[in-house]
């Protein structure tokens, strides 16, 4: 007869409803091993103690009563008293004899596991699993210990005893109190699994949601060399990949972002054969990704399967937090554990908070990986010794090498957190998101540069890079409500250039992207002139040559450009998928191109670059033709390899119809054939010639997007870079509006789409209303004006409808 109060269960016996018995982590491990192995997900076998084993320990020698007496009246904000009580609680746990019946059950299960995997003595991971873990409002991230590379029966029992004692660490006591949990309502179980030998390969964490923006169609993977604790604890700044789920499920390979981490150290098996140790990573490993593209795709597919499984169990969409490892002996990938993501998936979704710096500031003192999108201010407190946590004051900015769960009692006092090491899935990052405070990880040298007592501003509101500025810089917090209110007939699109912000702004009500600028990606994510990469290493300037070599590493220079540009485009396209994303091919002026690394060798010196070698004229010219080919190859990769066919192309500054025909023919030669796989090619309508010959241009292109900035300067004969005539620059001028109206009429006459992506509709609501009256198809706006202008457009459309009925 089966024991009604089992002390140990094999994972194959554990189900999703057994959280009270084995805790959230082990219930999840059982589901992974039993259900998902059959679907091709490589989950690791094992067994789990139950809450009955922990209860047996509490009942030994009156331990429960001793602990209750010790904890009575404890103020967890008194850090010295918390430390005293925590130390005494752990001493009581470790000095209480381990229940014999529990010890026998664990050893018997260890032997059975050995029989299943064909080994008598083997290394295991001992993983804590609390019955209150991974709840919707509390992740309990890292509150209890995980002990790695435990070998042999006696070492296993000792590790389990230590694991039980970790339920009474200072941080765990403080965390339970803060979250309102009774200490004795939380039991601890222990999961025991064979070690995956990732000490000889790599491991990490992945989420089935973007951990910063809450974008739900992404898998975010972090990885570093060695055992995964180095990533989780923030010891190493990991590599990172983002994969787009919808087209992944269709069979494409949509890695829309990859970032090489520093990977400073790795955790490996200790030299004496038990436990672990930390070693520095050699340069050859630091400078390459720890996973191949194929392995990244495989992990992402498993992540999607795991998310789908747990979403069915939950009866709702359930993003997941998953640990993975690669075995250095067999080369196989494994899933170690999966649990619900508890921060972004439970945020309110009816509004967006936008933090924005408004004050003047100098160059950043320190930069790193931004966690969250907020801004914090306060006095720096550089703290390297965890024994001195009591010196930390409310509202200070915590600056340290890295954090672990022992730091949590003071993390909640901080106005921001900055660490030298770590990535977006490390302990510091997870806890700061839960606390709602800005955090910058992986800065490299913050503890050396910043000085205690200095007022600084920590900004995570400027993209993926977090910046720390001297002093208290003014900033504002804008709150945008998101509603399912009616949409106007006129499509409201957005101008988006920065891939780092795309996931966040895509939550605003929109009909897609009317203008995605390649210049931002080339300037900020590549920084090298395309022709310098085409001709590398044959460059005149030795300094440029050295800088390019440093940036591209071992990668082919042309592939570096194509990959980086494709990933930037793809992040924007993925954020808005399946809505249209219109990508304008590069429109740098010669003086702007010259500022890129290696650019001065390939750019002419022009008196007026605004009217010179720019736009379509560059693309078929021998001086840039090979660079344009790289742009086209990047677009092909986004559409064909990643499946993001919502991407459309747009040609800027096309002076003649013949020039347009020449460019479209060249694009077809480079793989972008108009009409194939629904590819549409638009032209910017920004020259008087584009208006006067609109009927002819629209026979060549699939539609127009009005560029009101250039059209204004050319209609009025103004140089928009000249402050001398800046007061005359006004898109609402009658001549400009007449040209805009003529372009709209021509598009309607030819049955072609027409929109506008210039600045005017964002700046002037009355200009947007004028466009609605003329019957424009779409208006593309800056994200910060979308909601207000949408309301204005709706009102104008209703007024026009009402007027027409009279």
Provide the annotated active-site residues: 427, 757
Specify the residue for token string 């026979």: 699
Which structure tokens are listed for 394? 């409310």
What's 582's DSSP letter? E
Specify the residue for token string 């009246």: 73
Specify the residue for token string 């509603």: 483
Q: In terms of Cα–Cα distance, which of 141, 100, 136 is closest to 7?
A: 100
Q: In terms of Cα–Cα distance, which of 232, 244, 241 is closest to 261?
A: 241
Which structure tokens are listed for 688? 């008087």
CA distances from 673 to 111, 569, 587, 676 (A): 63, 18, 21, 6
CA distances from 10 to 27, 41, 190 (A): 11, 19, 12
Cα 378 to Cα 726: distance, rounded to the nearest angstrom: 40
Cα 437 to Cα 430: distance, rounded to the nearest angstrom: 11
Q: In terms of Cα–Cα distance, which of 221, 272, 279 is closest to 245?
A: 221
Within 215-324, where are the H helices? 229-232, 245-248, 283-286, 293-314
Residues 6+ away with beta carbon under 8 Å from 152: 121
The strand order across the sheet containing 188-194 reads: 8-10, 47-49, 188-194, 123-130, 146-151
Question: Do 604 and 534 contact (CB within 8 A), yes or no?
Answer: no
Which structure tokens are listed for 178? 């803060």
Q: In terms of Cα–Cα distance, which of 192, 225, 208, 222 is closest to 326?
A: 225
Question: Do 348 and 36 contact (CB within 8 A), yes or no?
Answer: no
Q: Determine the number of helices (DSSP H) and then strands (DSSP E) in the chain.
A: 30, 30
- CB count within 10 Å of CB 723 equals 7
Cα 205 to Cα 533: distance, rounded to the nearest angstrom: 34
Question: Do 712 and 723 contact (CB within 8 A), yes or no?
Answer: no
Q: In which element (H, E) is residue 379 found?
A: strand 375-382
Cα 281 to Cα 196: distance, rounded to the nearest angstrom: 20
CA distances from 242 to 296, 503, 646, 675 (A): 9, 11, 19, 29
- CB count within 10 Å of CB 95 equals 10
**DSSP strand pairing (397-400 vs 416-419):** parallel
Question: Do 731 and 718 contact (CB within 8 A), yes or no?
Answer: no
- CB count within 10 Å of CB 123 equals 19
Cis preceding linkage at 697, omega within 30: no
Residues 6+ away with beta carbon under 8 Å from 289: 239, 258, 260
**DSSP strand pairing (513-517 vs 47-49):** unpaired
**DSSP strand pairing (778-781 vs 491-496):** parallel
- CB count within 10 Å of CB 94 equals 14
What's 99's DSSP letter? P
Which structure tokens are listed for 793? 């457009």
Which structure tokens are listed for 762? 């964002």
Cα 224 to Cα 233: distance, rounded to the nearest angstrom: 12
Cα 491 to Cα 514: distance, rounded to the nearest angstrom: 10
Question: Do 256 and 250 contact (CB within 8 A), yes or no?
Answer: no
């Amino acid at each position: 007869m089966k024991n009604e109060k089992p002390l140990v269960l094999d994972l194959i016996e554990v189900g999703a409803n057994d959280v009270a018995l084995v805790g959230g982590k082990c219930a999840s491990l059982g589901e992974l091993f039993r259900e998902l192995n059959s679907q091709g997900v490589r989950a690791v076998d094992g067994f789990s103690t139950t809450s009955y084993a922990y209860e047996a320990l509490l009942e030994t020698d009156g331990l429960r009563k001793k602990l209750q007496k010790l904890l009575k009246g404890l103020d967890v904000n008194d850090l010295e008293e918390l430390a005293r009580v925590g130390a005494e609680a752990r001493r009581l746990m470790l000095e209480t004899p381990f229940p014999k019946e529990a010890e026998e059950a664990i050893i018997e299960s260890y032997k059975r596991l050995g029989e299943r995997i064909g080994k008598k003595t083997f290394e295991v991971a001992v993983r804590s699993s609390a019955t209150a873990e991974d709840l919707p409002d509390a992740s309990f991230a890292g509150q209890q210990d995980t002990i790695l590379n435990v070998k042999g029966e006696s070492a296993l029992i000792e590790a389990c005893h230590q694991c039980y004692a970790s339920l009474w660490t200072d941080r765990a006591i403080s965390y339970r109190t803060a979250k309102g949990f009774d200490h004795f309502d939380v039991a601890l179980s222990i999961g025991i699994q064979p070690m995956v030998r990732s000490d000889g390969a790599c491991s990490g964490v992945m989420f089935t949601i973007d951990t910063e923006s809450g974008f739900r169609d992404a898998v975010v993977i972090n990885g570093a060399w060695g055992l995964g604790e180095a990533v989780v604890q923030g010891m190493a700044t990991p590599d990172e990949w983002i994969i787009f789920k919808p087209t992944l499920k269709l069979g494409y390979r949509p890695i829309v972002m990859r970032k090489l981490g520093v990977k400073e150290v790795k955790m490996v098996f200790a030299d004496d054969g038990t436990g672990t140790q930390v070693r520095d990573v050699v340069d050859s490993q630091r400078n390459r990704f720890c996973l191949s593209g194929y392995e990244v795709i495989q992990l992402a597919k498993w992540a999607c399967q795991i998310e789908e499984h747990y979403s069915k169990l939950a009866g709702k969409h359930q993003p997941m937090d998953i640990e993975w490892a690669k075995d250095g002996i067999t080369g196989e990938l494994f899933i170690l554990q999966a649990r619900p993501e508890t921060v972004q998936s439970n945020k309110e979704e009816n509004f967006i908070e936008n933090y924005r710096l408004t004050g003047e500031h100098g160059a950043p003192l320190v930069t790193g990986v931004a966690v969250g999108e907020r801004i914090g201010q306060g006095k720096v407190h550089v703290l390297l010794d965890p024994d001195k946590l009591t010196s930390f004051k409310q509202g200070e900015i915590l600056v340290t090498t890295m954090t672990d769960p022992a730091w949590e009692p003071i993390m909640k006092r901080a106005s921001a957190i900055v660490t030298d090491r770590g990535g977006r899935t490390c302990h510091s990052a997870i806890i700061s998101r839960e606390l709602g405070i800005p955090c910058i990880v992986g800065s490299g040298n913050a503890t050396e540069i910043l000085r205690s007592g200095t007022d600084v501003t920590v900004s995570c509101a400027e993209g993926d890079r977090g910046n720390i500025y001297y002093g208290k810089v003014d900033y504002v917090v804008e709150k945008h409500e998101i509603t399912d209110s009616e949409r106007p007939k006129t499509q409201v699109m957005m101008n988006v250039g920065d891939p780092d912000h795309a996931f966040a702004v895509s939550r605003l009500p929109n009909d897609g992207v009317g203008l995605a600028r390649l210049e931002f990606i080339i300037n900020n994510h590549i920084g090298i002139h395309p022709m310098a990469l085409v001709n590398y290493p044959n460059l005149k300037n030795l300094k440029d040559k050295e800088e390019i070599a440093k940036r591209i590493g071992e990668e082919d220079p042309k592939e570096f450009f194509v990959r980086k540009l494709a990933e930037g485009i793809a992040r924007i396209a993925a954020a808005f998928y399946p809505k249209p994303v219109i990508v304008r091919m590069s429109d740098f002026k010669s003086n702007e191109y010259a500022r890129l690394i290696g650019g001065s060798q390939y750019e002419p010196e022009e008196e007026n670059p605004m009217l010179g070698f720019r736009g379509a004229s560059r693309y078929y010219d021998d001086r840039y033709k090979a660079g344009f080919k790289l742009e086209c190859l990047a677009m092909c990769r986004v559409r064909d390899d990643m499946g993001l066919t919502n991407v459309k192309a747009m040609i800027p500054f096309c002076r003649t119809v013949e020039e347009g025909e020449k460019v479209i023919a060249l694009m077809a030669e480079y793989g972008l054939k108009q009409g194939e796989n629904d590819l549409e090619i638009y032209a910017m309508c920004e020259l008087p010639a584009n208006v006067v010959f609109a009927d002819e241009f629209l026979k060549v292109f699939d539609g127009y997007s009005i560029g009101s900035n250039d059209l204004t300067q050319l209609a009025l004969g103004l140089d928009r870079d000249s402050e001398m005539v800046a007061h005359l620059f006004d898109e609402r001028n009658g001549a400009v509006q007449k040209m805009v109206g003529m372009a709209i009429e021509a598009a309607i006459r030819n049955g072609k789409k027409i929109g506008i992506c210039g600045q005017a509709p964002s700046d002037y609501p009355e200009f947007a209303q004028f466009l609605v009256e003329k019957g424009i198809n779409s208006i593309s706006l800056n994200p910060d004006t979308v909601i207000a202008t949408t309301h204005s457009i709706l009102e104008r459309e209703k007024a026009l409808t009402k007027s027409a009925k009279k």
